[in-house]
């Protein structure tokens, strides 16, 4: 036979508590995470952050020919044996276009250094390792080529001449 017990009776017998007193809350021990588990969790979180941050979309790398022909290249500076050359205003607006069919167009634009400065065209090629640029038979070593910058170097009469172009 079952007997019914009211909540009041249970409380009086101290078998259940309906409210937690502040004292009972303070007396409860909080569960601490062991230091070993905390370090493991911290290392995991840092590793996950690095892994997620380093994930990028796979970039398709372009060949040097694709980089050269993608944009027009404006002449910005030159150096002879590591010393910056002083450019005339007429040189600062010159640009070159490399076409994918192996032709180029040199344009001195509006400020011309002489009456002989005209739009010039010719042929260009890249060596099989894409490190040497040949323009009408004259070779230049590609020092740097990115989507925004081209640096070439030639040796002329024992002097090392380096030219820098920016893409636009």
> Which has the closest alpha carbon to 145: 128, 134, 131?
131
The pLDDT of residue 80: 96
Burial class (CB in 10 A: 0-12, 13-18, 19+), 162: buried
Whether residue 47 lies inside any domain: the answer is: no
- For residue 38, what pLDDT is reported? 60
Domain assignment of residue 97, yes or no = yes
Check whether 2 has a pLDDT greater than 60.
Answer: no
Q: At 112, which CATH number?
A: 2.40.128.280
CA distances from 7 to 2, 14, 95, 101 (A): 16, 10, 93, 93
Judge whether 27 lies within some domain.
Answer: no
The mean pLDDT value for 101-108 works out to 94
Query: Does the reported pTM lie above 0.85?
Result: no
Summarize pLDDT for 112-159 with one digit per residue, the tens: 888 888 899 999 999 999 999 999 999 999 999 999 999 999 998 999
């Amino acid at each position: 036979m079952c007997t019914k017990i009211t909540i009041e009776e249970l409380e009086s017998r101290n078998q259940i508590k309906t409210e937690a007193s502040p004292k009972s809350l303070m007396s409860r021990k909080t569960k601490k995470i062991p230091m070993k588990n905390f370090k493991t969790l911290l290392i995991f979180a840092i590793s996950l952050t690095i892994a997620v941050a380093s994930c990028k979309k796979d970039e398709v790398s372009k060949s040097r020919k694709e980089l050269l022909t993608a944009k027009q290249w404006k002449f910005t500076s030159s150096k002879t044996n590591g010393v910056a050359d002083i450019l005339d205003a007429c040189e600062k607006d010159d640009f070159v276009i490399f076409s994918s069919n192996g032709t180029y167009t040199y344009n001195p634009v509006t400020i011309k250094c002489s009456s002989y400065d005209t739009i010039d065209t010719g042929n260009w090629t890249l060596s099989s390792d894409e490190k040497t640029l040949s323009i009408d038979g004259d070779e230049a070593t590609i020092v740097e080529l990115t989507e925004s910058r081209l640096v070439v170097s030639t040796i002329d009469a024992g002097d090392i001449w380096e030219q820098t172009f920016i893409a636009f």
